[in-house]
Amino acid sequence: MIRFDGVTKQYPDGTVAVDDLTLTAPTGKITVLVGPSGCGKTTSLRMINRMIEPTRGTISLDGQDTARMNEAEMRRGIGYVIQHAGLFPHRTVLDNVGTVPRLLGWDKKEIRERSRELLDRVGLAPELADRYPSQLSGGQQQRVGVARALAADPPVMLMDEPFSAVDPVVRDQLQDVFLDLQGELGKTIVFVTHDIDEAIKLGDQVAVLRVGGKLAQISDPAYLLAHPSDDFVADFVGRDRGYRSLQFQPSPKLPLAHERTLLVGESTDGMSSAWALVVDNERRPLGWVEPSRVEGPVTTEMLHRGGTVARASGSLRGVLDAALSSPARRGVIVDDSGSLVGTVRAHEVLSLIESVDRPDEDLADAFAESEPETSR
């Protein structure tokens, strides 16, 4: 557990970066600090490992005042991930990951085994181990940064906008990898971001800070979206917070329609629909084609991949987004293995959203008896 008690950071010129901050980051959970530029997010984070010293107040780790702990020893027990990864350019990927275990005096063989294990866990191919950071993409470098922070198995991790320097697709992938790792390892994490969507996706609790380092609100993401404490929080969370809150509403039984599908290499001859869904041999969706614009067999170059795919076991937000984003206006729904189970239209999802306050058995009755229809 990390505890801030009345923590203030004031610089010699009188600037107050953090003002009387009191909050708790629970053990084994992700606490996200979010807010506009100048709200003291990074300052608060860096005071935990004493890279910045607080002016007043106390910060404690599992009940111990950090001001009374050995600084170097404390830092070796805290994983630290920053934007752009901060890797050593003259060291290989494997040596970068093993940095802290080496400082702790681990055996060389043990360090290499641990480093290779972590590279695999963060989704990096074994052949990347002997490369240097400059030979990696930005997303790969961030994965190495996460692996390095985990190398000595620290109970606490501090993450300062670690995914903000990569493109949106890679960022989403890194977030998913991070959540999978946290599900396995259960670290106590303080995570800084300026992106409210990232905060809501990753945080067990989200702390919104005002400019000047004052805490505006701290709560779990669902409550934050539904009950912002004031206009500042409501404006920062965004006017589409009602839509965002749908990600915390699990989908009830969906009124799925059967979807006629094609394999790559098949012809669209005789198809009257405006759009056709192309799948692989295991019925995993690959994209949409327009039969009227296709001559000969379907190729992967013809596919429209703009529509998103949602899991039947996922959230109402994911299902609605799939329906709205699909070029065919039909959301593609898959099971947990990624295989197609049917499609759904936006107006059908909206009907479900209007029913979320009804008892579960009513929702089930509304759709359990409806047979899938062929999409038109």
Range 285-294 average pLDDT: 88
Residues 322 and 330: their CA atoms lie apart, in Å, by 7
Residue 82's identity, in one-letter code, is I
Q: Are strands 64-65 and 56-61 parallel, antiparallel or unpaired?
A: antiparallel
- Distance of alpha carbon 24 from alpha carbon 21, whole angstroms: 10
CATH 3.10.580.10: which residues of the chain? 261-368
Q: Could you give the C-alpha distances from 199 to 67, 229, 230, 237, 360, in angstroms and in order?
A: 29, 17, 18, 10, 29
Give the SS3 label for residue 287: strand
On the question of pLDDT at 370 being above 80, the answer is: no
Q: What is the pLDDT of residue 242?
A: 77
CATH number for the segment(s) 2-239: 3.40.50.300
The reported pLDDT for the residue numbered 129 is 92
Paired sense of beta strands 309-311 and 331-334, if any: parallel
Rounded average pLDDT over 52-63: 95
Q: What percent of the chain shows pLDDT beyond 90?
A: 50
**Fold designation for 261-368:** CBS-domain (3.10.580)
Residue that wins the pLDDT comparison between 23 and 239: 23
Quick check: 375 pLDDT over 50?
no
pLDDT digits (tens, 9 = 90+) for 65-91: 999 999 988 988 899 988 776 889 999
The Cα–Cα gap between 336 and 242 comes to: 26
Tokens encoding 133: 């950071």
Q: What is the pTM of this model?
A: 0.77
Residue holding tokens 């106590």? Answer: 188
Query: In the chain, which segments carry CATH 3.40.50.300?
Result: 2-239
Contacts of 314 (CB under 8 A, 6+ apart): 250, 251
89: amino acid identity, one letter? P
Q: What are the φ/ψ torsions at residue 306 (nearest 5 degrees)? A: -70, -30
